[in-house]
Structure 1
Amino acid sequence: MSTATTANNNSEADPNMKTLLEFKKTVVDEQKQGDKKIEEINTRLEAVKKQIDEERMQLDELRTKLKSVNEEKDADYPKFVELRNSLIEAKNQMKSLDDKVGQAKSRKDRNEIHGLTKALEQIERDIQTKKLSKEEERKLVARSKEIATKLHTLKMMHKKEDQYREMSTQYDELKGRVNKIFRQKEEFGNKIGKLKESIESLVNTREALYEERRQAIHTVREAAAKLEMIETQLNAIAFKKNRVAQSETRQKKTKEMEERRVARQEAMQERVRRDKEYQERWNALKEAAMKKMSSGEKLTFDEMKLIFGDSAQE
């Protein structure tokens, strides 16, 4: 039987040991609760770390997508700005041509290009085929130059309008792409911001759990140290109890041996006393038999045995 078991058996007889055993039970419960808490914290830590890893992967994916969108923006936005400036320039050129043609009639004149072309061709034919005076020829030439100038202006305006419409179509398409890019940038930026906040919160939770686990481990280690001290004291008490018990056993055995020795000694003394009394009676009887024999009286067989027998044999 170990000293701890002996101590447990003797706890009721020793108040100190009883107190220690009760304290030991409390510390063991504290240690078990600490171990359970550490296990629970480890489970929570694994879940938090897994979530952090998953969200960091999502963050990397979003950053990759945002990088791709930024590359698209870097490629398309300068084109968009350039096309917008070109569109403004074309619009200004059209306004200048409108001013030349005359704003009141400019839109109608664009539909008269065919008529002006025919008129110009007729004037050229008249100049070449008809007999004209100097004054008539000068007027036709002047009129030809006027129509040619107006026709050129109208054609330029028509060409600019076609270019403007084409540029406007391209601008609208590019503007749609650029707006989509900026919407995606904003969307990815918001998602990245929320993920970063979430990860930061998770990291703070993880650090708090690390600190909580460190405290729990410290508590468990303190409990283990307390248990070691309690076991040491219990073993010391049990060892002391065992020594006292052994000493009491030795004392009991010594007392029993002494009592047996005294009993033997008393028995021996009693035997000596009885032997002495017997010898005295034997001597008295022998002396009486001797006197009887001396006086010539008849002796009995026993009296003869007293006189002639061996006392040692008796």
Structure 2
Amino acid sequence: MRKNISSVIQETTFDVGLDQYSTDNGGTSATAAAAAAATTTATRTPRKNLERDHHSGLDSNLTTLIDFKKALLEEQKKGEERIQELNNSIESAKKQIDDERVQLEEFRVKLKQTNEQKDTELTRYTEMKTTLIEARNRMKSMDDKGGSAAAVKSRRDRYDMSKLAKNLEQIERDIQTKKLTKDEERKLVARSKEIATKLHSLNALHKKEDDYRNMSSQYEGLRTKMNKIFDQRSDFGNKIGNLKANLDTLLNLRESLYQDRRTIIRAVREAKAKLEMVETQLNAIQFRKSRQAAAENRQRRQQYQRRQPRDNEERRESLQERSRRNRENQERWNIMKEAALKKMSSGEKLTFDEMRLIYDEGSSSD
């Protein structure tokens, strides 16, 4: 009986060895399959290297395009900020131009009013000057007619009118109050007529001199006014000239700002067009990468689907073989256990292996 149990154990061990051997064969098959796959991989390595190089080229192009896109976005942002600054400068220049034009129009109106006032006052000034020259010539002719000595005496008598008036009053009083002879009375009357004539002449002369002084005073006032008008006219002319120069400068500045803005707008539009091209290329690269990824996934799925039936068949055969061996081992184990139970029921002494067969329930499930 011991010999039978030993032979069964040896057979079981042999079966286990066969299982291991079959497993090793399976491993060998797997190794062979791996070697074949490695061979296939080796044959496909150049293609994979090309694909990897292509992927690296795409990644390099993608990085370059992304950097270029960032540079274009930065350029576009700076251009838009510069355009806004130029718009503010243009608006400021326009406001200054409008203010300068308003001031220029105001000064032109004032200059027109000053010219009209100048024309009016110039006529009066010319007439006053002519009248003053005529009055001065008349006074000069009167002095020339009287002679130099008479002129000196006349000029001296101009300041003795009060004395002459007193003398005339005294003579008239003497004629009325004193008792005079006819000769004395005739002399006093003649003297009074002479003094009265002289006083009349002096009064007329003084009146002409007063008129001349008044005319001279009016002439001086009018000349001062004319000088003031000419000064205002010159001042307004200078201010108008300065405003015109400032307007020319502002207009040139505005035109320069317009030109700069047109240049920057053109650059921003070019950057925008380049951005659209870069976006198109980026989308194309992303589309190509997505297509490649989809193709790779599809290829892996197809390879998996091609491998799966063979793997399932091998797995099913392996499970069937294992189940068959397990059934055979279980049948042998049951036979040996029944023999051990019969021996124990007959009262014979059991060996360790037989006791193990009876009491080792865990082994019966192997």
Name structure 1 gaps, 5 residues minimum: 1-9, 132-139, 275-314
Q: TM-score, normalised by structure 1?
A: 0.68
The correspondence for 1:30, drawn from 66, 72, 75, is: 75
- The structural deviation recorded for 1:60 is 2.0
Alignment of 1:242-261 (within 5 A): 242-261=290-309
Q: Which residue of 2 aligns with 1:64?
A: 109
Identical residues among aligned pairs (%): 49
Residue 191 of structure 1 aligns with an amino acid whose one-letter code is K
Q: Which residue of 2 aligns with 1:171?
A: 219
The correspondence for 1:74, drawn from 119, 127, 144, is: 119
Contact 2:161 2:199 in 1 (8 A): yes
Give the Cα–Cα distance (whole angstroms) in 2 for the partners of residues 163 and 85 of structure 1: 14
Residue 40 of structure 1 aligns with an amino acid whose one-letter code is E
- The structural deviation recorded for 1:149 is 9.0
Q: Which residue of 2 aligns with 1:202?
A: 250
Alignment of 1:40-119 (within 5 A): 40-106=85-151, 107-111=155-159, 115=164
1:104 and 1:11, CA in 2 relative to 1: closer, same or farther beyond 3 A? farther
Q: Which residue of 2 aligns with 1:190?
A: 238
- The structural deviation recorded for 1:150 is 7.6
- The structural deviation recorded for 1:108 is 2.4
- The structural deviation recorded for 1:68 is 2.1
Give the secondary structure class of the aligned counterpart of 2:148.
Answer: coil
- The structural deviation recorded for 1:179 is 1.1
Give the secondary structure class of the aligned counterpart of 1:105.
Answer: helix
Q: Which residue of 1 aligns with 2:33?
A: none
Aligned length: 251
Q: Please give the root-mean-square deviation of Cα atoms over the aligned residues, in Å.
A: 3.7
Q: TM-score, normalised by structure 2?
A: 0.59
Give the Cα–Cα distance (whole angstroms) in 1 for the partners of residues 158 and 139 of structure 2: 12
Residue 231 of structure 1 aligns with an amino acid whose one-letter code is E
Give the Cα–Cα distance (whole angstroms) in 1 for the partners of residues 159 and 88 of structure 2: 82
Contact 2:65 2:282 in 1 (8 A): yes
Greater mean deviation of Cα atoms: 108-117 or 227-236:
108-117
- The structural deviation recorded for 1:93 is 1.0
The correspondence for 1:222, drawn from 258, 265, 270, is: 270
- The structural deviation recorded for 1:46 is 1.9
Give the Cα–Cα distance (whole angstroms) in 1 for the partners of residues 142 and 197 of structure 2: 12
Contact 2:58 2:285 in 1 (8 A): no
Give the Cα–Cα distance (whole angstroms) in 1 for the partners of residues 97 and 148 of structure 2: 67
Contact 1:27 1:227 in 2 (8 A): yes
Contact 2:111 2:233 in 1 (8 A): yes
Give the Cα–Cα distance (whole angstroms) in 2 for the partners of residues 201 and 163 of structure 1: 56
Residue by residue over 1:42-85, the C-alpha shift from the partner in whole angstroms, topping out at 9 and shown as x without a partner, is 12222222222222222222222222222221211110111011
Residue 224 of structure 1 aligns with an amino acid whose one-letter code is K
- The structural deviation recorded for 1:230 is 0.2
The correspondence for 1:233, drawn from 281, 284, 293, is: 281
Give the Cα–Cα distance (whole angstroms) in 2 for the partners of residues 261 and 254 of structure 1: 12
Give the Cα–Cα distance (whole angstroms) in 1 for the partners of residues 286 and 253 of structure 2: 48
Contact 1:24 1:230 in 2 (8 A): yes
2:210 maps to 1:162: yes
- The structural deviation recorded for 1:269 is 8.2
- The structural deviation recorded for 1:255 is 0.7
Contact 1:35 1:220 in 2 (8 A): yes
